[in-house]
Every structure is written in structure tokens, then in C-alpha cells.
Structure 1
Amino acid sequence: MLIMIANVLDANNLQSLRDNLGKTRYVDGRRTAGREARPVKRNEQVDRADPLLAVMQDLVVDRLLANPVFRMATRPHVVRPPLFSRYEPGMAYGSHVDDAIMGGMRTDVSVTIFLSEPDTYEGGELVIESAAGEQDVKLAAGDAVVYPTTALHRVAPVVSGERLAAVTWVRSLIRDADARELLFDLETARHALFDRLGKTPELDLLAKTQSNLLRRWAED
């Protein structure tokens, strides 16, 4: 399931992050890549030793967890501290799949939050591969895309400008991607019906069904 989420970060959040990113030290992004991804990764990332990193990580994780669509789409159990990446002209990240285990945590869902406005850089699309083909994603600053960690994906070469992004991973309470999608669809339908009809016996039955499916599938 691939979902775009608008306005995860507001203008004040973005300004704070950009101010801090302008003060941080960047290092070769290959330091955090797995063995097979390392040869195709050409970007820079904020140094893990930088004292501003934890402040930026806390802000992004807090805003993600405050977003109801993110919570519905991912059912988060643990959200990894984000990485902050910078792509300048000529930089790219070739086709790869994210590590299944990071820091001892299973990764189920990948999240990219765009920090640069799309008209400030050329290229740099996040390209997500699936059986249905490829999907190019290039969103407004502050928007996020949520996609399965199992998917092959890449960042197209940046031709001009600067692409800033935050990337993180989620261990979901619901391991199975199909089950997560079913629960997301059920909750989306429940909210829409409640807004239209108010509380009804039929909605109570849907709520019971969703709760019992969540109870059946959740891993704590």
C-alpha cells in the first residue's frame, strides 16, 4: 500500500528543520547503506554525531505520530529515528530494498518526508517499483509518502538544485501488509460513514469487526 500524506510538517516545522540542516555537518550517505546498496548510493546525510540531529529527529517523529492518516496507514509500534539526506546535482540512489532489520528492529513500512519544494530542484523523484510498474513520487515540502519496506525503490539523479528529505522506518503492530491495508480501508470507510450518517447500529458492527481484526492480527 502506497499512501501520500499531506502536511505532515507545517511551515514552522519546515523552517526549523531547514535552519538546523543549514548548521549541521553532512557525511557520505554510504555509511548507513547495506552491502548491496552501498555501490549505488550517492548522497549526503547528517552526521549521526551532530548534536542537532536528535532535535530534528524528535520533531519529525512527533509530527508523524500526531498525524491520524499516518497512524491508520502504518499502525506504528516503533518509529526509527529518521535520517536526513541531501542530494546535490549528480547525486542519486540506485535501485535497492531497505534492510529488513535495523538496529534489531524489523522494518515493515518506509516513510519519506520531503523537505524541499519540488520546483526548487530538477530530478530527484522517488521511484517505487511494483508488479504494476513504477510510480514516481515528488511531493510538496512537508508531505510524506508511506510505502512497503519490501519494495524496490530508487531516487532519480538530481539535475539541478538541492533535494532535502527525511527518511524513517516503522515496525508495525500489524506485520502483514494486506492486513494493514484492510484495516486502513475499514477505518477510512467508518470515518466517512460516521461523518455522513452519525452513529448507527451498522457502524457499531463495523467498529466491532475492525477492533476484533486488530486484536487478532496485532503483535505487541
Structure 2
Amino acid sequence: MNYLIIENALPAEVLAGVAAAIQAGPFESGKRTAQGMARAAKHNLQLSAAVHGQLLDRLALAIYSHPVVQAFAMPRMVGRPLINRYEVGMEYGMHSDGAYIHDVRTDVSFTLFLDDPGTYQGGELVVQTTAQTFTFKLPAGSMVLYPAGELHRVTPVSAGTRHAVVGWIQSRVRDAHQREIIAKLSLIPRTLSQDEKYAELATQAGQCVQELVRMWGD
């Protein structure tokens, strides 16, 4: 599976703004932004985008600008994210994300966990592929990125409250396997460039990486 975990994914001042917004509210039904069959599976709350739009746009920019996100997802754009809340009994059943959300093609999904995992029970992000199932319950401030087309769910919260930032990235390379190949090959010129005697080889390797981006990009 082509996924990535980034620890301490957002600057402290952005996280402080998120915490203040969560305290201020208001929250509304998460079904308002669900599409198709996902509407029936979605049982959560989300922070009002009408009230906190400026904060959500700051979050999108911070995620877009993260150097690891740039290398892994090669984002063309990051859609306005959501800040969701799961109280006791809430969950999001198995679903797949819509191919387009707010005119952004959803190539890569992300979930950024906002709470210490010891403060709530349940609420795991479960991503199911044809080969295996992955479960994520990460420390506060950590973010997982994964292909948006994979089936996934959030398990019921049985104690405490779970908050997370969720959103979608339109990549310059839409195919997840091709993005993975580019990301792995990109390590070669960066590593070779650290030794002067491999400078020419590093340049050639970097050229090959860029040719793949040209070949597969849209």
C-alpha cells in the first residue's frame, strides 16, 4: 500500500489555531459534506466551514507546503480540509471517497490526528486493500496519507472524543503506483549528490526522475 506517516505535520501556531477553533465551535452534522452512499455511513460532527473558512484555508496551505507532502504526493492542489469530531457512539462506516470533492480530484487522502490516543477509546482509521488491512491511531499532530480510492472507515468511539483534520490532495501524477516509483527514485539523486565524485551521476538520475514526472504527469 502506498501510504506515509508524517509526525509533527503542522507548525505549532497552526495547531494552536485549530485547538482554539475546536473550543469555540460550532459543530454541525458531518452528513452535510458526505456524497452518495457515504452519507448513510457517516455519523460524526464537523467544524463549521462558514465560520472557520480562513483557518481551513491556512491548514490546506500548510499541508500543501510541507516538503514531505511535496515529495510523496506531488500536489497540484489541496482541497479545503474538514475538522471532524467523533463523540461516544459515533463512527464512519466503510466507504470510499468521491472521485471529486469541491472540484478537486481526490488522488491522496489524509487524516491528521489531533488528540492524544490515550484520551479516547476506539476511533481507529482502518484502511482496507485487496491484500490486507491497515489500522491507524496516531499521536496528536501526526498525519497519514493514503490513496483516496481505498476503502476505509473510522471505528466507533466508545469513550472520550476524537478530533481530526481530514482532506484530499489532487496530485500532478494521478496513479498511486507511479507516484510511489517516483518517490523512491527521487532518493537516488539526493543521496548521490552528497558525494562530489557522483555529481554527474546524480544529475543524470535527477533528469530521469523529471522525465518520469513529465511522462506520467497531467
Instruction: Give the shorter-chain TM-score range.
Output: over 0.9
Per the alignment, residue 191 of structure 2 pairs with 192
One-letter identity of the residue aligned with 1:15:
A
The within-5 A match list for 1:139-150 is: 139-150=138-149
Q: Secondary structure at the match of 1:136?
A: strand
Look up the match of 1:58.
Answer: 57
Deviation at 1:11, TM superposition (A): 3.4
1:124 aligns to what? 123
Runs of 4+ in 1 over 3 A off after TM superposition: 192-195
CA contact (8 A) 2:111 2:166 kept: yes
Which runs of no fewer than 5 residues in structure 1 stay unpaired? none
Provide the alpha-carbon RMSD of the alignment: 1.5
Partner Cα distance (1:148, 1:133) in 2: 14
Corresponding residue for 1:169? Answer: 168
**C-alpha distance after superposition, 1:33-58 (max 9, x if no partner):** 112111111100112322xx223212
Q: CA deviation at 1:84?
A: 0.8
TM-score under structure 2 normalisation?
Answer: 0.93
Q: Is the CA contact 2:96–2:152 (under 8 Å) kept in the aligned structure 1?
A: yes
Q: Which residue of 1 aligns with 2:34?
A: 33
Give me the whole-angstrom Cα distance separating, in 2, the residues matched to 1:119 and 1:13.
Answer: 23
User: What does residue range 1-220 of structure 1 map to in structure 2 within 5 Å?
Assistant: 1-50=2-51, 53-195=52-194, 197-198=195-196, 200-219=199-218
CA distance in 1, matches of 2:118, 2:191: 34
Amino acid aligned to 1:19: A
Cα distance in 1 for partners of 2:13, 2:158 equals 28
Q: How far apart, in 1, do the equivalents of 2:26 and 2:215 lie?
A: 46
User: How many Å apart are 1:188 and its aligned residue?
Assistant: 2.7
Using the aligned pairs only, state the percent identity: 36
Q: Find the aligned partners of 1:66 and 1:12 in 2 and give their Cα distance.
A: 15
Structure-2 separation of matches of 1:59 and 1:193: 35
* Code of the aligned partner of 1:178: H
Q: Kindly provide the CA deviation profile for residues 97-132 of structure 1, in whole angstroms up to 9, marking residues without a partner as x.
A: 000111233211111111112111111110001122
> What is the TM-score normalised by the length of structure 1?
0.92
- Give 3-state SS (helix, strand or coil) of 2:50's partner: coil
